[in-house]
Structure 1
């Protein structure tokens, strides 16, 4: 029969390991295939085979010939054990006696999958499968697999999804699983369950709630629903770090065994790794859409409400964390709102996975790398590459080293980044090296298997490392890179012909997976924790890349063009002219010329045109970009290393930056950009900026007393608690605040926008200019040679207290108490200012004098220390 491989593990039966492969049949039935005739093994050098054979946990010790990287073919022991659990003990015992061990830390399931050349989400042909009578797993079909081979189909149809979300309530502060109960659990199904698209479990009766007498009964029904519906994919939003650990602890408190995977004897597990959790639901794939979205999408915020609105165009009726306890105790209408809120979280979590096709890329990556989907999503690229390389090196008779202590070597030198020429550049063609590092590896046969000291049969690279020529010995890594890159080109060619939407998604996922895997090899060899860390190889790759960039720059300049910037695998060439097609034609001619100077296998290609290009520093620029499309040219504003949106900025910063960048790039009007900045600051000083554009938002992640330092949003929470405890934000709420004028510390001057409006408080314009607008915009203008003083007028910005502190520079005609100062007035035109202008002078150029209750005068302000601003 055929089955789609979802998960794999093993169990011990009669002191022997039995592998279990969980999946789905073509007919949509759940399958568990048991594979018995496979035992764990590893290799060792410099050890006695007879002595090892006599050990009680060793099934067999055979003397075999295998290739060792850097040492050629050697005789060694292939040690087969009775059970995987005995491997670490024997490995360390042999090491202590001076043996070198190989592949002694490969997970048993991955050793098996590598030997059979199967991957997660492959279709498997399972031959001669007789029925297995067992209650140890949940599956429609349970069979003993005598032979397993990889099938050819790529479609993963008929998967069943379930999304869940929980709500819990605490008497005070953040809910803690050790003491605070779960009150609601929502479940949403990708296909109806007993005729229902969703359900909400709760411990209080209400409209749309399946109510239970106790939390224990509700949790038992949660388990029962999952096991009955039997989803392949269990998902939710931020469930890995919150919902699942919370549920498991509550189940432990209620004496419930958390068995809602497909293995009846194996509970669901959560393990804390660093600051996050790693979850395992046996036989199912556990997907946290929050974690995938954080990896795959660059957003200002990652709360579910913001994510859903940006990515799905679906709005969420949000409930503050501080409101949950109130709604839980509220009347039927209030409780119904909480129930709907809980349900909506599950609906949106499922929509994110299905409508955005979040898993398509990771399914393709699992199939290419040979890993299970769960590990592809939850682990880094090092594990994927090592699993892939294990197969490829084993095919050619090599054994890979076991991981040992971290090497002390450091000194990896990165790619070449050319110093950018200052100013705004027009008509710049961006020429990109196609897969530079993979191409270098292929062209120069760079591989651990070809690294040599042999001068006669090798190529020396700029770093001094030598690698055997291809005709002497083809490297394994160059070979597999060639296969990956050619496979990607074939997929892209098929993409151009395919009209079927589902097939397009699959092909897009596959070409992305092939690209990700191919591009990861350079970083892998330079990563100190990798199995095959080799600084000599990593530096050989980057040194060749640096030389290629510098040689390309010379070749471009030799035909009269200027390279205004270069970044690792691309060069930016100033061509001139206004016609995009003419610029592109000249760029293609440059590519052709440079191509004659490049090593075989390294290709330069024309990528796009920057109509205007403004570099700030290395790795940081903005550009007005044009790319070819089926309809001509598509334009966009492209930025690298420059944030136009940050979570600690108010909206005014992003809006102003976007406007100024557009003026500089599209209109090429530096004066207008400076004037625009000044107009924004003047509007700020006149309180003409909408208050919502000045709000800064931060999340309260713990109780106020848990914060060691003084932070604006926490100080505001304390104020709200004092004014109206019922309205105070709770743990997990986002706190929006605006900085107002006053003489207290900045953190004490954070205020709630509605309170500002109610009390008529004045905004601290100086704070927004100095701390919000200027830092990012000053960097942009500095690249144009515009100084801070020019931005601010004819001098530095002068706040009221700055002006007072400079009294010694002004002829003092009289003295006045601070409370008598009402503002400033122009000596020439009598214009009145509540606060100083940026330049410190009037718009007419006249000098500003302090205005007091006794009229305008040059004054020295004296008196008491200002009182703190009233709340």
Structure 2
């Protein structure tokens, strides 16, 4: 029966079946899950007309069957193109390898079949489809599918999954938390009060646990699986134990097993595909949404976001406790297991992470579980438009990569200031792209215009770049996103607004990345170097009005008003500066380039007190490091940027000391007694709980050969102790180590053997913090803390 429906694409894959291709799309609709099967869509790549005859001969000799078609398409070098259609995905991979080995350039061969199917139809999440439908167990299957784009926001069912296991990876239990059902599947005999503990499902063995997990997925059928390190730990182990128990772990829709793919670059990273379901890892999704935390442990993130978590930080204490609970108190382990599931659910709800992933997919067409994905997002949006304009996209070519200048950072004027304003360009790089028509195809078309003759149609960029005034896509893409974001802000849709902001701001990074097929140093440089010009000229405009710009960074300028201003007066100055400078930029772009101006300076902050420190041990001003005092909603707030308080490689000792000391100086209080007292208490051992360094090992331990930093020394000592105690080694493959400085050097916090070196903490933690601000009021740490000389 031919039926029509609308839904949201959850998973996509392509494969070869009986000599032809098959694209399988799992879609969530209001009627439930649907499996769409598209057959016979041919993989396509492109070669130039010049290479076509040679390519045809090579493929015939290689016994690879293809069909050719000349299309009204050309390369960025204006060469006419042929499309080469393969019969199967396997053939398309072979022909690409074969042709490239013979020196023939193959264009767009890396675009996966399912991605191209969706991309060319502008399908971004939402999909309208028709076909012959047939009811299957738990879903509808559609054959002979036709599909097009649709605007559809899905209601997705979610389960939070977490496992508990022994140190050797033998499963104890699996926790599952969803709106429909919360339970822990636990190996063991039922305990008393079974009615009270009906949320625990008891099974006899690990194999029974895995079979119960399969049954749970069939019964409750979630669209999304979330967890904490859920792919590289939980699912990696579940699949390993399923293999050991000779099971397929059929937890996909249609009782299909998951597919595991190991990363080529990182042995500790894998990817999982579960047909019809999406796995979202909490850590990866938070990072993609630009969240950042001092530590990415579930306990640490849940404490920071929710104000709750568990206090078992040491992996061995945790393991010992889990083993003890499994042997003697399985109900406590079940509660512990389910608590992890609930914490992850609450983090996703609190941060609107699922909404963010859905909106990102609706905006760009990337998969819900795509980590990062800026290049894929740009390709999805840009490629179909490029084809319709008559171009084939260039191949990846990192050999010609030339770095573009980064964001503009002015030399700073160090000092302790009253009343500093921060003026900030709203989305500077996107607004430069819009204003100056910066675009990959626009560059190709602009360079084609003859110098002199085509100047009225070309806009000069940097490093030889020229952009066509009318033939471009990216400025319109930015404009549409910009308008959508403004609407999302008005509607209070934070996840949507954040998704748009990340995508919009990623376009510059994509164009400046050697991993992007559209990279051209003239493109990226025409954005960043224009940014340099905008910031430098803005500084001049401000100083012409009698104020001093003490610093500038990428899209912000810091303006000293010359004397202390009350908040109302500072706001008035800030608002007027913004009006004047925006008007000046509008006039300049109209007169010099005959362009509409989308540069928009905003008044962001008034710092009542502001510190611009020097580079440590020098007279020169710092960059990307400052502190200030602001008033928000009638309350004072200290802001630290790039200083010890916000850096994870400084101790809590330095951070606590800095926050109080700077607050005192900003309020013109005499801090001498505080500095002396804090130093003495440190020497007396009263601050021992604040002395722990916490650093990430960037490489495996055995890779550190010549220079052995303190954290590596501490990690080696810790693993020597772990080995003596018969524990698993913790730090051989990177990780985070906590250590303290002793008179014998750095030692692991957990296994400290020597007395603490308190002078190290005075010299390396307290003194640098104090001398970052005290010299601006004529004082120094050593003078304040030196023992008083008696009078004779």
User: TM-score band, normalised by the shorter chain?
Assistant: 0.7 to 0.9
Q: 2:682 aligns with which of 676, 681, 684?
A: 684
Pairwise CA distance, 1:110:
0.9
CA displacement, residues 195-221 of structure 1 (integer Å, 9 cap, x when unaligned): xx2123225665755343332222222
1:126 is aligned to 129
Residue pairs, 1:618-767, within 5 angstroms: 618-626=623-631, 635-665=636-666, 667-669=667-669, 672-673=670-671, 675-689=673-687, 691-696=688-693, 711-712=713-714, 715=717, 731=730, 745-747=744-746, 764-767=757-760
Q: 2:782 aligns with which of 788, 792, 803?
A: 792
Aligned 8 A contact 2:352 2:495 in 1: no
Provide the secondary structure at the position in 2 that maps to 1:565. strand
Aligned 8 A contact 1:437 1:519 in 2: yes
Aligned 8 A contact 1:321 1:730 in 2: no
Residue pairs, 1:504-523, within 5 angstroms: 504=492, 507-523=493-509
2:424 is aligned to 432
Provide the secondary structure at the position in 1 that maps to 2:396. coil
> Is 1:583 the equivalent of 2:570?
yes
Pairwise CA distance, 1:142:
1.4
Query: Structure 1's 42 and 699: CA in aligned 2 closer, same or farther, altered over 3 A?
Result: closer
Alpha-carbon separation, structure 2, partners of 1:786 and 1:205 = 72
Query: Structure 1's 519 and 18: CA in aligned 2 closer, same or farther, altered over 3 A?
Result: same
Alpha-carbon separation, structure 1, partners of 2:462 and 2:485 = 30
Provide the secondary structure at the position in 2 that maps to 1:597. helix
2:537 is aligned to 551
Provide the secondary structure at the position in 1 that maps to 2:106. strand
Alpha-carbon separation, structure 2, partners of 1:290 and 1:489 = 28
Aligned 8 A contact 1:526 1:533 in 2: yes
Query: Structure 1's 635 and 268: CA in aligned 2 closer, same or farther, altered over 3 A?
Result: farther
Pairwise CA distance, 1:284:
0.8
Q: 2:472 aligns with which of 469, 472, 475?
A: 475
Q: 1:595 aligns with which of 549, 560, 582?
A: 582
Aligned 8 A contact 2:325 2:332 in 1: no
Q: 1:34 aligns with which of 30, 37, 45?
A: 37
Alpha-carbon separation, structure 2, partners of 1:414 and 1:704 = 33
Query: Structure 1's 40 and 292: CA in aligned 2 closer, same or farther, altered over 3 A?
Result: same
Query: Structure 1's 322 and 382: CA in aligned 2 closer, same or farther, altered over 3 A?
Result: same
1:357 is aligned to 352
Pairwise CA distance, 1:619:
1.4
> Is 1:220 the equivalent of 2:211?
yes
Query: Structure 1's 478 and 250: CA in aligned 2 closer, same or farther, altered over 3 A?
Result: same
Structure 2 length as normaliser, TM-score?
A: 0.85
Provide the secondary structure at the position in 1 that maps to 2:550. strand
2:16 is aligned to 12
Alpha-carbon separation, structure 1, partners of 2:210 and 2:70 = 55
> Is 1:94 the equivalent of 2:99?
yes
Which has the higher Rg, Structure 1 or Structure 2? 1
Alpha-carbon separation, structure 2, partners of 1:583 and 1:400 = 50
Provide the secondary structure at the position in 1 that maps to 2:677. helix
Count how many residue pairs are aligned between Structure 1 and Structure 2: 740
RMSD across aligned positions (CA)? 3.5
CA displacement, residues 353-378 of structure 1 (integer Å, 9 cap, x when unaligned): 23432122221111111112122xx2
Alpha-carbon separation, structure 1, partners of 2:496 and 2:408 = 30
2:272 is aligned to 279
- Farther-moved stretch of structure 1 (555-564 vs 764-773): 764-773
1:455 is aligned to 451
Aligned 8 A contact 1:678 1:792 in 2: no
Gaps of 5+ in 2: 590-596, 614-621
Alpha-carbon separation, structure 2, partners of 1:540 and 1:115 = 29
CA displacement, residues 726-778 of structure 1 (integer Å, 9 cap, x when unaligned): 9x8985999866656xxx5123595779x9xxxxx975422321233334444
Pairwise CA distance, 1:51:
7.2
Aligned 8 A contact 1:445 1:467 in 2: no
Alpha-carbon separation, structure 2, partners of 1:513 and 1:749 = 41
CA displacement, residues 247-280 of structure 1 (integer Å, 9 cap, x when unaligned): 2122222222233222545533142341422222
Residue pairs, 1:796-811, within 5 angstroms: none
1:498 is aligned to none
Query: Structure 1's 335 and 623: CA in aligned 2 closer, same or farther, altered over 3 A?
Result: same
Query: Structure 1's 646 and 485: CA in aligned 2 closer, same or farther, altered over 3 A?
Result: closer
1:81 is aligned to 86
Provide the secondary structure at the position in 1 that maps to 2:279. strand
1:806 is aligned to none
Pairwise CA distance, 1:535:
0.8
2:339 is aligned to 344
Pairwise CA distance, 1:715:
4.3
2:186 is aligned to 201
Alpha-carbon separation, structure 2, partners of 1:749 and 1:399 = 57
CA displacement, residues 825-866 of structure 1 (integer Å, 9 cap, x when unaligned): xxxxxxxxxxxxx42x3x35459xxxxxxxxxxxxxxxxxxx
2:402 is aligned to 410
Gaps of 5+ in 1: 496-503, 756-760, 795-837, 848-871
Aligned 8 A contact 2:654 2:765 in 1: yes
Alpha-carbon separation, structure 1, partners of 2:790 and 2:29 = 82
Alpha-carbon separation, structure 1, partners of 2:331 and 2:539 = 67
Pairwise CA distance, 1:133:
6.9
Alpha-carbon separation, structure 1, partners of 2:729 and 2:403 = 47
Query: Structure 1's 773 and 68: CA in aligned 2 closer, same or farther, altered over 3 A?
Result: same
> Is 1:185 the equivalent of 2:174?
yes
> Is 1:307 the equivalent of 2:301?
yes
Alpha-carbon separation, structure 1, partners of 2:772 and 2:316 = 40
Alpha-carbon separation, structure 2, partners of 1:574 and 1:701 = 40
> Is 1:529 the equivalent of 2:515?
yes
Alpha-carbon separation, structure 2, partners of 1:330 and 1:414 = 54
1:110 is aligned to 115
Pairwise CA distance, 1:97:
5.0
Alpha-carbon separation, structure 2, partners of 1:770 and 1:430 = 34
Pairwise CA distance, 1:585:
1.7
Pairwise CA distance, 1:717:
7.8
> Is 1:570 the equivalent of 2:562?
no
Pairwise CA distance, 1:440:
1.6
Aligned 8 A contact 1:703 1:731 in 2: no
> Is 1:484 the equivalent of 2:481?
yes
CA displacement, residues 149-191 of structure 1 (integer Å, 9 cap, x when unaligned): 22234x322x221222222224xxxx3xxxx422222222232
Aligned 8 A contact 2:218 2:255 in 1: no
Q: 2:605 aligns with which of 601, 605, 608?
A: 608
Q: 1:254 aligns with which of 245, 251, 256?
A: 245
Query: Structure 1's 681 and 105: CA in aligned 2 closer, same or farther, altered over 3 A?
Result: same
Alpha-carbon separation, structure 1, partners of 2:349 and 2:640 = 30
Aligned 8 A contact 2:770 2:781 in 1: no
Query: Structure 1's 534 and 22: CA in aligned 2 closer, same or farther, altered over 3 A?
Result: same
Query: Structure 1's 61 and 780: CA in aligned 2 closer, same or farther, altered over 3 A?
Result: farther
Alpha-carbon separation, structure 1, partners of 2:499 and 2:719 = 46
Aligned 8 A contact 1:49 1:77 in 2: no
Alpha-carbon separation, structure 2, partners of 1:58 and 1:331 = 60
2:593 is aligned to none
Query: Structure 1's 717 and 568: CA in aligned 2 closer, same or farther, altered over 3 A?
Result: closer
Provide the secondary structure at the position in 2 that maps to 1:407. helix
2:73 is aligned to 66
Pairwise CA distance, 1:483:
2.3
Aligned 8 A contact 1:317 1:341 in 2: no
Query: Structure 1's 104 and 779: CA in aligned 2 closer, same or farther, altered over 3 A?
Result: same
Provide the secondary structure at the position in 2 that maps to 1:255. coil
Alpha-carbon separation, structure 2, partners of 1:565 and 1:770 = 29
Alpha-carbon separation, structure 2, partners of 1:407 and 1:79 = 26
Alpha-carbon separation, structure 1, partners of 2:603 and 2:22 = 54
Alpha-carbon separation, structure 2, partners of 1:546 and 1:697 = 37
> Is 1:243 the equivalent of 2:234?
yes
